[in-house]
């Protein structure tokens, strides 16, 4: 069955990826419209061999729409998502607006596709750093329950949108040309530097990005007992986040077992060549849908055989955002397409 689709935030970094992915995956649509702010309304956008005019987003934009893909920021989602639902659309939202709402399922198709049946009109896409972590980690968790996760992220400019990506490019040129750097999008010089993730620090010393990784993982795993701590850092990479992850399992597990599980895990590509010192890199992860996982080794700080360290990299704009959102939409009962390709759906 083909559906009528609306893309909200079509001119943003993630919105542009929506356009590419919907076309690449041949998402089954009858009609499609592209929505953005008044500033972008009237611009042209090419999709599936045709040229469309971007329309201004209003509460009346969703008449006749079956599926609305949102990526325009939390405030826009809060303002317009309910209007879309009232008009009869299912909203798949890429912002933080509804992620921790107990009535809104938070979905990664490789992790908890069954939760989509609980939706009441809105489905949330998790935070990008959370998605990139849980795709490989949940594959291991299903085999041997994980008790504890320590994660350190190396997050690219793409996570802050195209303006941050451009600022990194511009600053890099300025530094190499000996010019003074003037941060505007990021709080500090981004080129040739790194700093704590630019989200608000809470009273416990953790920033919002770190808290998201904790709360979202527990929600999707349906396990409030799992111990999680994260340290999130911005690094001068244009695209694709990387993460160093340390896991403590309930039962003993070997490095080889981890490799075998990840080699077969949906949405994961094993990159683990010790002889060549070749492991996941953001450059290799860019522009592909799978999360790269490797650098698998025993956690020598933990006694016994229950600790494993690994390193992962994933494209923040794809699996960390747009691709995961479209995969969720492909799971909807009224969408008869190719399926997400990761969980056996049709």
Tens-digit pLDDT profile for residues 146-165: 999 999 999 999 999 899 99
Please name the helix (run of DSSP H) or strand (run of DSSP E) that holds residue 229, with its range, or none: strand 227-234
Pick the CATH number of 3-126+321-330 from 3.40.50.720, 3.40.630.30, 2.40.50.100, 3.40.605.10: 3.40.50.720
How many helices (H) and strands (E) are present in the chain, helices listed first? 8, 15
Q: How is the chain split into domains, by residue range? A: 3-126+321-330, 130-316
Say what the pLDDT of residue 1 is: 63
What span, in angstroms and rounded, lies between the C-alpha atoms of 109 and 322? Answer: 13
Average pLDDT, integer, range 162-186: 96
Q: What's 130-316's CATH class?
A: alpha beta
Active site residues: 128, 241
Residue 100 has φ and ψ, to the nearest 5°, of -100, 10
Q: Which of 238, 240, 237 is nearest to 131 (CA)?
A: 240
Give 35's strand partners: 8, 55
Q: Which of 290, 306, 294 is nearest to 261 (CA)?
A: 294
Q: Note whether 247 and 146 are within 8 A (CB).
A: yes
What span, in angstroms and rounded, lies between the C-alpha atoms of 197 and 34? Answer: 31
The percent of residues above 90 in pLDDT, for the chain, comes to: 94
Largest CA-CA distance found in the chain, in angstroms, rounded: 62
Q: What is the pLDDT of residues 284-330, one digit of tens each?
A: 999 999 999 999 999 999 989 999 999 999 999 999 999 999 999 99
Residue 229 has φ and ψ, to the nearest 5°, of -140, 140
Q: What is the pLDDT of residues 75-97, one digit of tens each?
A: 999 999 999 999 999 999 999 99
Say what the pLDDT of residue 341 is: 41
């Amino acid at each position: 069955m083909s559906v009528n689709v609306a893309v909200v935030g079509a001119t943003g970094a993630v919105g542009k990826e929506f356009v590419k992915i919907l076309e690449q995956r041949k998402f089954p649509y009858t009609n499609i419209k592209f929505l953005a702010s008044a500033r972008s309304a009237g611009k042209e956008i090419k999709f599936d061999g045709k040229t469309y005019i971007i329309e201004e987003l209003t509460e009346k934009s969703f008449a006749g729409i079956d599926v609305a893909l949102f990526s325009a920021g939390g405030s826009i989602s809060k303002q317009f998502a309910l209007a879309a639902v009232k008009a009869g659309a299912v909203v798949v939202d890429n912002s933080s607006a509804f992620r921790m709402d107990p009535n809104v399922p938070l979905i990664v198709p490789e992790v908890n596709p069954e939760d989509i049946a609980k939706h009441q009109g809105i489905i949330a896409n998790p935070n990008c750093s959370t998605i990139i972590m849980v795709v490989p980690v949940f594959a291991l968790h299903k085999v041997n329950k994980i008790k504890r996760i320590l994660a350190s992220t190396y997050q690219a400019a793409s996570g802050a949108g195209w303006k941050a990506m451009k600022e990194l490019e511009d600053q890099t040129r300025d530094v190499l040309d000996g010019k003074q750097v003037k941060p505007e999008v990021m709080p500090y010089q981004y080129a040739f530097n790194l700093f704590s993730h630019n989200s608000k620090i809470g009273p416990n010393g953790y920033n919002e990005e770190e808290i998201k990784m904790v709360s979202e993982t527990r929600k999707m795993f349906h396990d409030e007992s799992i111990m999680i701590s994260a340290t999130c850092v911005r690094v001068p990479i244009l695209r694709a986040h990387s993460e160093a992850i340390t896991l403590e399992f309930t039962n003993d597990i070997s490095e080889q077992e981890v490799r075998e599980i990840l080699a077969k895990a949906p949405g994961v590509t094993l990159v683990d060549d010790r002889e060549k010192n070749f492991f996941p890199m953001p450059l290799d992860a860019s522009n592909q849908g799978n999360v790269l996982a490797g650098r698998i080794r025993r956690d020598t700080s933990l006694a016994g055989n229950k600790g494993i360290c690994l390193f992962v990299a994933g494209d923040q704009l794809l699996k960390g955002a747009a691709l995961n959102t479209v995969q969720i939409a492909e799971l909807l009962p009224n969408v008869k397409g190719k399926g997400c390709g990761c969980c056996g759906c049709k």
